[in-house]
Amino acid sequence: MRRPCVAGNWKMHKTVQESIALVKELMPGLDSIEKVDSVICPPFTALAKVSDLIKDSKIEIGAQNLYWEEQGAYTGEISPGMVAEVAEYVILGHSERRAYFQDTDDTVNKKVLAALNAGLKPILCVGETLEENEQGKTGAVVKRQLTAALKDVSVEKFGKIMIAYEPVWAIGTGKAATAEGANQVIKEFVRDQVASLYSNEAADKVRILYGGSVKPENAKEYFQQPDIDGALVGGASLKADAFIQITKAAA
């Protein structure tokens, strides 16, 4: 039985003060929900403060990116070790990073390997664009992204990874994938590819989240699907009530 997880990607939202306020609203609600992992991913600047605040709470914390080198002359970048000081998880391969910041299959792989070496748990995002979807390429794209991102990742290390299937056309658009459609992609392409890369056991164990316009109103439909183990939530994770309701729906 896979334990559900609801992760909030705050993207480039919330100052440190705003992050503190949101976490204080989230804690009582999320701490009272049993049998679901909740992860929040604030911007880098708020990680240290938020990580202190949630020390005695059930909430876990993640970053939204990292750079693969351990240290050096890489102005503006954050190393895996720096992230690991203040977070447990890290979102990697998000479509916004692939679209706006030149993350490629190859650099996502470097980040995954570096994150795992630093003891972080990657939330690895895959998903097709609208054009790829309309051309019937969803399966090919998702399989290619997974194969590339997981190159040289041992089966033991793979056990630390969560995957998020996020169709690009559903992110921040209000145009969510149907629950059945998302489940089908996750089962037939994502879980199946994990089975081919590793084993049926690894495919059975890995938690796979759906992401793309998940809200309190539609969350339950996703969580009722057999292959969907939770959600990666963008917009709706910025409001305490909405994020708590989505997490409750996963319980």
Indicate which single residue of 5, 26, 179, 232 sits in contact with ligand PEP (rule: CB under 6 A). 232
Cβ atoms within 10 Å of 225's Cβ, excluding its own: 18
Q: Residue 187 CB, nearest distance to ligand PEP (Å)?
A: 20
Q: Residue 164 CB, nearest distance to ligand PEP (Å)?
A: 7
Indicate which single residue of 171, 185, 228, 250 sits in contact with ligand PEP (rule: CB under 6 A). 171
Stretch of 39-47, 103-111, 138-146, 212-220 lying at the interface with ligand PEP (CB under 6 A):
212-220
Query: Which residue's Cβ has the minimum distance to ligand PEP?
Result: 234
Total chain residues near ligand PEP (CB under 6 A): 13
Indicate which single residue of 219, 233, 244, 246 sits in contact with ligand PEP (rule: CB under 6 A). 233
Stretch of 111-119, 155-163, 164-172, 241-249 lying at the interface with ligand PEP (CB under 6 A):
164-172
Q: Residue 133 CB, nearest distance to ligand PEP (Å)?
A: 15
Report the catalytic residues: 94, 166
DSSP letter string over the chain?
-PPPEEEEE--S---HHHHHHHHHHHHHHHHT--S-EEEEE--HHHHHHHHHHTTTSS-EEEES---SSSSSS-TT---HHHHHHH-SEEEES-HHHHHHS---HHHHHHHHHHHHHTT-EEEEEE---HHHHHTT-HHHHHHHHHHHHTTT--HHHHTT-EEEE--GGGTTSS-PPPHHHHHHHIIIIIIHHHHHHT-HHHHHH--EEEESS--TTTHHHHHTSTT--EEEESGGGGSHHHHHHHHHHH-
Indicate which single residue of 47, 223, 234, 250 sits in contact with ligand PEP (rule: CB under 6 A). 234
Examine residue 213 and tell whether it contacts ligand PEP (CB under 6 A).
Answer: yes
Examine residue 166 and tell whether it contacts ligand PEP (CB under 6 A).
Answer: yes
Q: What residue type is 194 in one-letter code? A: V
- In the complex with ligand PEP, the residue whose CB is nearer, 79 or 237, is 237
Interface with ligand PEP (CB under 6 A)? 9, 166, 171-172, 211-214, 232-236
